[in-house]
Amino acid sequence: MTHGSSLRRDDPMKRSRGVTIYGTYALVVGSLNGAGNLALAVMVAKMGEASAISPLRPLLGALIGALMVAAGIGAFLLRPWGRTLAMAAAVAILAMTAINLGQIPAGEPARRIGFIAGYVVFPAALNGGILWFFTRPAVIAQFHRS
């Protein structure tokens, strides 16, 4: 038995490397995304009508960030709600990518391509992969230990 852990190294129900990677990703990206979007929402609200964007969008981003942090904690602890929150965060981000499709900026092609890659293609591929990962039987089994 490892020191400080009730799981043995040969325990088939220990947290996999993939779940650990997701938990780290969710904590880091969720924290940065949540804090950044919350700061943006405050700045937008202070600008009032002078702002080009609504404070609702960054508030949604901050909520998704908080959801990711909770999912990361749940993933590290192998709690069933952690898996559920991870999938909910991925679905929320996929919904945001669909919204982003309708907001492709006008202008030069390089700017449009950069927006599409950074705000649509990459997040859709990453979060589609996260959804796929959390539906694998071996991953599901890790979250349903007795």
Report the 3 state secondary structure along the chain: CCCCCCCCCCCCCCCCHHHHHHHHHHHHHHHHHHHHHHHHHHHHHHHHHHCCCCCHHHHHHHHHHHHHHHHHHHHHHCCHHHHHHHHHHHHHHHHHHHHHHCCCCCCCHHHHHHHHHHHHHHHHHHHHHHHHHHCCHHHHHHCCCC
Query: Is residue 10 a part of any domain in this protein?
Result: no
Q: How many structural domains does the chain have?
A: 1
Query: Is residue 132 a part of any domain in this protein?
Result: yes
Which structural domain, as residue segments, surrounds residue 86? 17-142
Whether residue 24 has pLDDT greater than 50: yes
- Using the Cα atoms of residue 35, residue 123, residue 131 and residue 55 in order, give the sign of their dihedral: positive
Whether residue 23 has pLDDT greater than 60: yes
Query: Is residue 70 a part of any domain in this protein?
Result: yes
Instruction: Kindly indicate the confidence band of residue 48, based on its pLDDT and cuts at 50, 70 and 90.
Output: confident
Query: Is residue 83 a part of any domain in this protein?
Result: yes
Query: Is residue 95 a part of any domain in this protein?
Result: yes
pTM: 0.84
Query: Is residue 26 a part of any domain in this protein?
Result: yes
Query: Is residue 116 a part of any domain in this protein?
Result: yes
Q: pLDDT per residue over 49-87, tens digit each?
A: 666 677 788 899 999 999 999 999 999 999 999 999 999
Query: Is residue 67 a part of any domain in this protein?
Result: yes
